[in-house]
């Protein structure tokens, strides 16, 4: 996996995990990869993965069974989706509109882009 330099790696791993859950690759109530395994497959230090899991645990997206590993919370998927949707609609979108304005790009131009992307 490739990491951007702009954000902390552990937060990018948090994102990665959330995406796995949203896409149901990691299913509710089921075990997720161990800290070590994920560290190996992502080629990062185990501490960094641990920190990401900590983060997810605090947001009650995953939980720990001692000696067994980490598991996805029962309603994690919907929780994440709700939170992300709010954050997207209320923060990212308005910010995008402001950028659109500043750069003098019309919403039509964006739609065109969108349609082109759908085809490919």
Footprint on this chain of its own copies (rule: CB under 8 A): 5, 9, 19, 22-23, 45, 58, 66-67, 81, 84-85, 88-89, 92-94, 96-97, 99, 102-105, 107, 110-111, 113-114, 117
Residues of this chain, 70-99, that bind DNA according to CB under 7 A? 70
Our CB check for its own copies shows the closer of 30 and 106 to be 106
Q: What are phi and psi of 74, to 5 degrees?
A: -60, -40
Angle at 18 between CA 94 and CA 80, to 5 degrees: 60
DSSP 80: H
54 makes contact with DNA (CB under 7 A): yes
E strand spans, 9-120: 62-65, 69-72
The minimum distance between CB 25 and its own copies, in angstroms, equals 12
**In angstroms, what is the minimal distance from the CB of 62 to DNA?**
9
Nearest CA-CA partner of 26 in 34, 18, 37: 18
């Amino acid at each position: 996996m490739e990491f951007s330099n702009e954000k902390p790696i552990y937060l990018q791993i948090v994102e990665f995990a959330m995406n796995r859950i949203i896409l149901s690759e990691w299913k509710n109530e089921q075990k997720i990869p161990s800290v070590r395994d994920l560290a190996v497959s992502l080629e990062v230090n185990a501490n960094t993965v641990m920190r990401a899991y900590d983060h997810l645990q605090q947001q009650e997206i995953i939980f720990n069974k001692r000696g067994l590993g980490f598991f996805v919370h029962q309603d994690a998927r919907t929780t994440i989706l709700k939170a992300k949707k709010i954050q997207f609609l209320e923060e990212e979108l308005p910010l995008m509109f402001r950028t659109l304005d500043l750069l003098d790009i019309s919403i039509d131009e964006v739609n065109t882009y969108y349609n082109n992307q759908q085809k490919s």
